[in-house]
Structure 1
Amino acid sequence: MPVAEHVPAAVARTVSPPAPARRRNPGPATAVVVIAPWSLTIALGLWGIRRQNTLWGDESVTYLLAHRDLSQIWLTAQHVDLVHALYYAVMHELYGLFGGGLLTLRLPSVLAMSVAASGVGLVGLRLAGPRAGLLAGLVFPLLPQVQKYAQEGRSYAMVCALVTWATHALVTGVPHRARWRWAVYGSTMLLACLLHEFAVLALVAHGVTLVVSRVPRPVLKAWSAAAVGVVAGLLPPAICSAGQSGQVAWIDGPVRLRYLLIVAVVGVACARVPLGVRGPVRLSALAVPILVLPGLLLLIASLVKPLFVDRYVLYSNIGIALLLGARMDYFHRRQRSSRNAWLAAVAVLAALVPPSVSLRTPQSRSNDVTAIAAAVRKEGRPGDGLLYLSGRQRILTAANPEDTRFLTDLALAQDPVSSNTLAGVELPAREIAARMLAFDRIVVVRAAGAHSLTSPQEQAKTSTLRRHFRAYGTTHVHGARVTVYVREHDP
């Protein structure tokens, strides 16, 4: 007789295997982690998106090149800005669909950053749970640097979104060796690098994450194959763009390094407590490298040639958002009362209000090309000469051609479009000086903080002004000064 028949029913009920635990449906939590950060980023992005209907210099370059034909964009990229050529092509297509206004210029960045915020939330959910993921996704769009570039008509928000989702593909692909997962990771990273080459520094951070996490060898081999593919795809445009390094000659030292230093210190401090043990890698092992390494590598490269600009590693904000979100979740779990947490959150939000308002003014950028062009229109008279002390400064008014229509550009030999350049081709120095002497009034534009004028054309302009003209009046606008010079005729 089977032994089971001698077991009393009560005992049988006691020793019988328990019913499998009911698994909670992660769907609602995932939806909140995706939608809440996305919605907050959209709201912040739309707030003051027109920035008083002004442009700044880099955005005016996007505006001008995106209005050119694709063939012209490609020809221009042979001379300058190859690193942004793909972005200009994307914006050209968007202009063709939705028109070429300010909203079309900036909305793609708002949408890209909102997608990045959702991706940050999902990475946090994967590595530290729903609450940490939600908090990380909500912190991300509140960061001042994220708010700034979410409203800028440049490629950096798109690059940040792609790196974020490549990071998500990394943490979801670590437990697996399926080729398609790593193909998604590699193609996403490659697209980010083609939009801006310095996205490749995130690839280095991902590699460090995997090594520190001691992932299985097959996973490391799969990542290595994807990384080799990314580098191979990036290498040809990177070699070509290396010949255009003169366009970053304006960088004479680290630009806005303080922000990165502050968030790096805060992030490392947050990582000192145990954060998130749910995923295939520790959250701190992912977040700290992507926060610190790209900027550090760019600073090291700057010892040879100055290259560090904060926006080039905008995606580093992924790391600080994840660390802050996980740290707040840790704090919430350790505190019996959430009163202090709420007070701290309100204090932080109140502190963010002034910089958030400031970022939506023209003064938050290094110049205001709309104001510069308006000053030229105001000071100039029909028939006056127009002179840019540096030819590259022609882009300061190029987006507003109506403001300079009645003036004669004294140095221009070939316009930017026909020459497939950003600022056109200038005449030889002697011809510029001769043309200047044919005018009694010249409106001169010089960018604030401009580099020393060393080319023959630039020296001819300044020496002719000094010898034969006197300054009649100067208008200072954000990022430049506009001076009217009057000819002093010999007695």
Structure 2
Amino acid sequence: MDDESGPVRGGAARALALLQRTVWLWPALVTLGLGVRGSWRPELWRDELATWSAATRSTGDLFDMLQHVDAVSGSYYLLMHGWISLFGDSPTVFRLPSALAMTGATVFVVLAGRKLFGPWAGLFAGLLFAVFPSVSRFSQEARSYAFAVLAVSAATWLLLRALERPTVLRWLPYAVSVTAAGYFHMVSLCVLAPHAVVVLMRWWRERRARLLIGFPAAVLVALLPVVPLVLLGRKQVGRQISWLHTPNLQDFVNTWHGMFGSPLISGCMLCLAALPAAWPKGRRPAVEIGLVAAMPVVLIWEVSQGQTSYFLDRYLLFTLPAWAVLAGAGLTALRPRVLVALGLIGTAWLGLQDQQNLRVRTAHEWSDEKGAAHIIAKGYQPGDAVVPVRGDAAYMMLDFALDYYLPKNVEPKDVFAEKTAAQRHDLFAQECQQPESCAAGTKRVWVVTYGSTDDPYKGLSAAEVKVLTSEFHQDEVKHVQGLTVTLLERKTANG
């Protein structure tokens, strides 16, 4: 019996050791699966359309645009420019880099949890992170937020490694990850504040002078390449986030829920995050990772009370890895053990409805731009023109949406655009100052406006409406969700 049981125990030990070494793999696969699942369904919304417009320009045109607007997103736009050139721009392919970035972030969540609290805490932290609805949401959005989450999660784990053995070879990758965080989203550099406090806490306890040399040197090396971007970004801040208002307490609550993508899960995470502090051996790491989770939220709140606000749930996503590590450690602390499995399953169940809502057509944008493009494509004739409403609704980027969803062989002229966004090196076209001359020679015009009212010219300028009503007659009017599509034909000499 002993001879037979020995190999069995040895095999079980090897299997357990293998599981602990690859503990990061399973949460990463869950994140990737949820990130890709249904990513083709939601229509692109205005921010993703800005990405598409920028990334599909030539490299020269893209750099020209970044001198005027959105410089802080330049690194991401360049990455997406290369990605689209290689793989195309269908919705799933277009969003796949974000899913891959979140998958990478999950790996670092697991590694940080394992280093601070052990392999099981790392596993559960990764699984919790994977089922956050906001993680799935921003895995399916063609914006840079997932990359900022990846960079910050990597930086936190690399910091923990460097604190164990503060050598140049360990500080250097930390510096690279901090630089990446700055290039993908400058607000995420707030993580340096809690990182600095963690370094000071370790130094106070261990009195290793190398910590006080290595960390500042690494931060200096990391921030030097970001300085030009910071200076250029400050010049453009009025165009980027001027719409954000000074946050109040209700905004704080809404932002907290939005960070996790579910009010139920956000409350659950707050409870789980408090549990690791109850461990005698878990208090120090809980305080450290708790600072990384909470301190940026407080700092950005305080800064946002000034002239410019940065307090927005998607700007704070980079704190989610630390919250997941805390919650994973708290979940592991539950007794009896059956509560651990129930807690994980319960968390996933609480977010199930939110996960489903993320994958419907209107998850990102309420109006049906794809449906409007389908109407135009179905009735298109060579030489047709299009008038997408701009004016006060220019920020909705309806012109980009129509360009994206129209087939390649359907190319109506944007008749009231005197200069396209690309020609202006901007994200917005320059509207025609003399609509009558711009419409000259056009026989048919597709007018697309927001709303489903009886007024198919809603939102257009008075000069544009005058040209369209005096020189054209309505041939047909169709509605899709949130949009009105009107086909106009030029009046004949007989009226």
Alignment TM-score, normalising by the size of structure 1: 0.79
Q: What percent of counterpart residues are identical?
A: 24
1:200 and 2:200 are equivalent in the alignment:
no
Report deviation, 1:436.
6.6
Q: What do the CA deviations read for 1:300-358 (whole angstroms, capped 9, x no partner)?
A: 33332243332222121112211111011110xx32xx344444443333222221121
Q: Which residue of structure 1 lines up, in the alignment, with residue 9 of structure 2?
A: none
Aligned partners of 1:253 and 1:306 also within 8 Å: yes
Matched AA of 2:293: L
- Give the Å deviation of 1:84: 1.3
Which stretch shifts more, 295-304 or 464-473?
A: 464-473
Alpha carbons of structure 1 residues 238 and 447: separation in structure 2 relative to 1, 3 Å = farther
1:160-199 to structure 2, matched below 5 A, reads: 160-199=149-188
Residue 237 of structure 1 pairs with residue 229 of structure 2: yes
Confirm whether residue 35 of structure 1 aligns to residue 34 of structure 2.
no
Quote the offset at 1:237 in angstroms: 0.7
Indicate if the aligned counterparts of 1:176 and 1:219 stay in contact, CA closer than 8 A.
Answer: no
Cα deviation code 1:24-63 (max 9, x no counterpart): 99952542322111121122223212226x4222222323
Greater C-alpha Rg: 1
What SS class does the counterpart of residue 69 from structure 2 fall into?
coil
Question: Would the alpha carbon gap of residues 461 and 235 (structure 1) be closer, same or farther in structure 2, given more than 3 Å must change?
Answer: farther
Q: Could you tell me whether the CA contact under 8 Å between 1:209 and 1:286 is conserved in 2?
A: yes
- Amino acid across the alignment from 1:188: S
After superposition, give the CA deviation of every residue in 1:267-307 in whole Å (9 maximum; x if it has no partner). 5543444446779x933223323322333333333332243
> Contact 1:446 / 1:481 at 8 angstroms: preserved in 2?
yes
Say which is worse superposed, 184-193 or 32-41, in terms of deviation: 32-41
Unaligned runs of 5+ in 1: 1-23, 449-456
Residue in structure 2 matched with residue 426 of structure 1 by the alignment: 431
Paired position in structure 2 for 1:313: 316
Q: Is the 8 A contact 1:124 1:283 kept in 2?
A: no
Query: For residues 171 and 470 of structure 1, do their structure 2 counterparts lie closer, same or farther at Cα, with a shift above 3 Å needed?
Result: farther
The answer as to 2:292 corresponding to 1:286 is no
Q: Is the 8 A contact 2:274 2:330 kept in 1?
A: no
Amino acid at match of 2:427: L
Cα distance in 1 between the residues matched to 2:365 and 2:184: 23
Counterpart for residue 111 of structure 2: 122
8 Å contact kept, 1:270–1:323: yes
Tell me the equivalent position of 1:9. Answer: none
* Partner in structure 1 of residue 297 of structure 2: 295
Secondary structure at 1:33's aligned position in 2?
coil
Question: Residue 218 of structure 2 aligns to a residue in which SS?
Answer: helix
**Match for residue 374 of structure 1?**
374
Q: Contact 1:388/1:445 (CA < 8 Å) preserved in 2?
A: yes
- Select the residue among 310, 318, 324 that pairs with 2:327: 324
Please say if 1:475 is aligned against 2:479. yes
Q: Tell me, what secondary structure is at the counterpart of 1:307?
A: coil
| Map of 1:389 onto structure 2 | 390
Match of 2:72? 83
- Displacement after TM superposition at 1:247 (Å): 3.2
Cα distance in 2 for partners of 1:466, 1:212 equals 69
SS at match of 2:23: helix
Tell me the equivalent position of 2:358: 359
- In structure 1, give the amino acid aligned to 2:68: H
Deviation at 1:100, TM superposition (A): 3.6
RMSD of equivalent CA atoms: 3.6
CA shift, 1:403, in A, is 8.6
1:130 and 1:173 map into 2 onto residues whose CA distance is 19
Q: Which amino acid is the alignment partner of residue 412 of structure 1?
A: A
TM superposition shift of 1:465 = 8.4
The structure-2 alpha-carbon separation of the partners of 1:294 and 1:134, relative to structure 1 and needing over 3 Å to count, comes to: same
Question: Residue 219 of structure 1: which of 203, 208, 211 is its match?
Answer: 211
Distance in 2 between residues matched to 1:395 and 1:98, nearest whole Å: 20
Q: Deviations over 1:235-264 (max 9, x none)?
A: 211111222221334445768513349677
Distance 1:271 1:306 in 2: 27
Letter matched to residue 176 of structure 2: S
Letter in structure 2 aligned against 1:388:
V
* Secondary structure, counterpart of 2:24 in structure 1: helix
Deviations 1:178-208 (A, max 9, x none): 1221111111110121122122112223223
In structure 1, distance between residues paired with 2:400 and 2:280: 51
Between the aligned partners of 2:144 and 2:378, the Cα distance in structure 1 is 33
Instruction: State the partner residue of 1:61.
Output: 50
Measured at CA, do residues 252 and 271 of structure 1 come closer, stay the same or move farther in structure 2, by a change above 3 Å?
Answer: closer
Aligned position for 2:240: 247
- Distance, in Å, in 2 between the alignment partners of 1:298 and 1:439 is 52
Corresponding residue for 1:413? 418
In structure 1, the residue matched to 2:62 is: 73
| Inter-partner Cα distance in structure 1 for 2:328 and 2:478 | 50
C-alpha distance in 2, partners of 1:295/1:378?
49
Alpha carbons of 1:282 and 1:379: their partners in 2 closer, same or farther (altered >3 Å)? farther
**Distance in 1 between residues matched to 2:198 and 2:163, nearest whole Å:** 11
Change (3 A) 1:274 1:58: closer
Q: Secondary structure at the match of 1:386?
A: strand
1:68 and 1:182 map into 2 onto residues whose CA distance is 37
1:470 Cα deviation after fit: 11
Alpha-carbon separation, structure 1, partners of 2:81 and 2:379: 33
CA contact (8 A) 1:290 1:318 kept: no
- The equivalent residue for 1:452 is none
CA distance in 1, matches of 2:64, 2:146: 25
Change (3 A) 1:253 1:358: farther
The CA deviation at 1:388 is: 2.0
CA distance in structure 2 between the aligned counterparts of 1:238 and 1:58, rounded to whole angstroms: 21
Shift of 1:219: 1.1
CA distance in 1, matches of 2:286, 2:379: 57
8 Å contact 2:446–2:488 — kept in the other structure?
no
2:158–2:173: 8 Å Cα contact kept in structure 1? yes
TM-score, normalization by structure 2: 0.78
Question: What is the 5 A alignment of 1:9-28?
Answer: 28=18
CA distance in 2, matches of 1:476, 1:30: 52
Distance in 2 of aligned mates of 1:384 and 1:341: 61
Structure 1 207/433 Cα, relative in aligned 2: closer, same or farther at 3 Å? farther
Alignment length (residue pairs): 449
The alignment partner of 1:305 has SS state of coil
Moved more, 394-403 or 356-365: 394-403
